[in-house]
Amino acid sequence: ARCSPSRASIMTGLYPHRHGVIDNNLRLAQHTICISDILCEQGYNCIYTGKWHLLGGMHKPNFVPPHRRHGFNRFIGSNVGHHKKYYRYIQNNDSPKQTNQYSTDGIVEDAIKMMEESGSTPFFSFISILDPHTPWSVRSPYDRMYDPTSMQLADNYINDIKLISEGPARERYKLVEERIADWIQGHSAQTREEAFQEIMAIYYGMISCIDENVGKILDWVQRRGMEEDTIILFTSDHGEFMSGHGL
Q: Over 90: is that where the pLDDT of 58 sits?
A: no
pLDDT at 82: 84
pLDDT at 81: 83
- The candidate with the shortest Cα–Cα distance to 137, out of 61, 205, 78, is 205
Q: What does the pLDDT average to over 30-39?
A: 97
Q: Across all residues in the chain, what is the average pLDDT?
A: 95
Q: Over 90: is that where the pLDDT of 57 sits?
A: no
How does pLDDT run across 104-157, given as a tens digit for each residue?
999 999 999 999 999 999 999 999 999 999 999 999 999 999 999 999 999 999
3-state secondary structure of 240: coil
Q: Is the pTM of this model over 0.75?
A: yes
Confidence of residue 37 (pLDDT cuts 50, 70, 90): very high
The DSSP secondary-structure symbol of 51 reads E
Other beta carbons within 10 angstroms of residue 235's beta carbon come to 6
Q: Over 80: is that where the pLDDT of 90 sits?
A: yes
- The candidate with the shortest Cα–Cα distance to 242, out of 199, 210, 205, is 199
pLDDT at 83: 87
Confidence of residue 34 (pLDDT cuts 50, 70, 90): very high
Q: Over 80: is that where the pLDDT of 59 sits?
A: no
Q: Over 80: is that where the pLDDT of 229 sits?
A: yes
Question: Quick one: what percent of the chain has pLDDT higher than 90?
Answer: 89
C-alpha dihedral sign at 198, 200, 206, 208: negative
* Distance separating alpha carbons of residues 89 and 98, to the nearest angstrom: 9
Q: Over 80: is that where the pLDDT of 27 sits?
A: yes
* Distance separating alpha carbons of residues 189 and 176, to the nearest angstrom: 15
